[in-house]
Amino acid sequence: MNNTFSLTASAEPRVATPLVNKLMVVFGLMMVIGVGAAAWAQYVGHHHAFANTREMPWGMLIGVYAFFAIISTGLCLLAAISHIFGGNNLSPLANRMVWMSICTIMGAFFVIGLEIENPWRMPIGNVFFPNLTSNIWWMGTLYGMAVGFMLVEFYLILTKKYSAAITLGVMGAVAEASANSNLGSVFASLNAHPFWYGSQLPIFFLGCAFLCGASATIMFTHYAHIIRGKKMDENTFKGMQTAGKVMGLMLFLITIATFWKFANAYAGSEGMILAANSLVNGPLSINFWIFEMGIGLALPFALLMMSRLNSIQAMSTAALMVLVGQFFSRYDMVVAGLSVPHFPGYDNAATYLSYSPSAAEYALLIGGIGTVGLGFLLGERFFGQAFKSHGKH
């Protein structure tokens, strides 16, 4: 067995088409748009470029960061499970999962790194001034560790050192799961915002990770075959069906968890009730009912049930719908939790604080999507042969 990595051997010439090259340029330009918006924010000041205020310090970009980070966690966990046990239907998809987990966390880092006012302070403070009592410090540290583990794991996969790759994959999965639960705890530990406060969010985020990871696995696997113009083989299709089963199960469980989140909110304080009302019949109701519940949960579940996981197009469409719904779910969670004033009803204050994303925030969202899209295409172009590997893991 040749354990030397060769880019020529791992590359996929079938992907080097004019269309794919044009898509790479488009995704690259999307990243430039995001970087340009961040540079403009540095010039005019973040308080002018972004729609955040003292009362609404977090906005859409925190939700975007959480969205990409949760997808990365799901992909990493599913890849680790498939690699550990081996011989299962997900194994043919696992190597692509590892790569896309790296790409999606890079998309998250792109957004959060350019969203903060002084991005250069983040790595310096994280390394030289650690705060072991801070959820955010642990989240950043653990995600950074996970990226390191996954990069080494992916290199070991490319060099066919599968036993060592499994070890690194497990370490990456543990780091990702810990970081993901810390991300949930960043919100759940803020008792000043009762809609977030409690023990549910860290576990809810892990459930969403499995949902998003299964959805992303199906979607990227389908798109990889589209850009190749190649029919999907039986083993890969069975892997997609298994991911579809995971997606269907998690859709059911997330729907139940959402119900209990609202049942708990309506049995809680005035602030919790107002936050829940903002989603049910308030300013976020369209987002919640149409995108989060309808497009994100009900319709994809129905599509999976009707197709019985026998249609690639149906599974891919359901996966895309889930990811759209999860994007709105993260946005709604952030805004609903912050939009209720700390002292509702006092001094004739508005029932809800207003927030609408600025053009710079949308530009960073575009840049994050471009990061993930370009990473996906580069992976298919230069590591495509590794994604075909059905070897021993």
In a domain, 393, yes or no: no
User: Which domain, by its residues, includes 364?
Assistant: 7-387
pLDDT computed for residue 31 by the predictor: 98
In a domain, 309, yes or no: yes
pLDDT computed for residue 2 by the predictor: 57
In a domain, 222, yes or no: yes
CATH number at residue 77: 1.20.1630.10
In a domain, 345, yes or no: yes
In a domain, 294, yes or no: yes
In a domain, 23, yes or no: yes
In a domain, 392, yes or no: no
In a domain, 1, yes or no: no
Domain count, the chain: 1
Per-residue pLDDT of the chain (393 residues; tens, 9 = 90+): 556 667 777 888 888 899 999 999 999 999 999 999 999 999 999 889 999 888 889 999 999 999 999 999 999 999 999 988 877 899 899 999 999 999 999 999 999 999 988 877 878 888 888 888 888 899 989 999 999 999 999 999 999 898 999 999 999 999 999 999 999 999 999 888 889 998 889 999 999 999 999 999 999 999 999 999 888 999 999 999 999 999 999 999 999 999 999 999 999 888 899 999 999 999 999 999 999 999 999 999 999 999 999 999 999 999 999 999 999 999 999 999 999 887 776 766 778 888 999 999 999 999 999 999 999 999 999 999 889 855 445
pLDDT computed for residue 369 by the predictor: 98
Q: What is the 3-state secondary structure (H, E, C) of the chain?
A: CCCCCCHHHHCCHHHCCHHHHHHHHHHHHHHHHHHHHHHHHHHHCHHHHCCCCCCCCCCHHHHHHHHHHHHHHHHHHHHHHHHHHCCCCCHHHHHHHHHHHHHHHHHHHHHHHHHCCCCCHHHHHHHHCCCCCCHHHHHHHHHHHHHHHHHHHHHHHHCCCHHHHHHHHHHHHHHHHHHHHHHHHHHHCCCCCCCCCCCHHHHHHHHHHHHHHHHHHHHHHHHHHHHHCCCCCHHHHHHHHHHHHHHHHHHHHHHHHHHHHHHHHHCCCHHHHHHHHHHHCCCCHHHHHHHHHHHHHHHHHHHHHHHCCCCHHHHHHHHHHHHHHHHHHHHHHHHHHHHCCCCCCHHHCCCCCCCCCCHHHHHHHHHHHHHHHHHHHHHHHHCHHHHCCCCCC
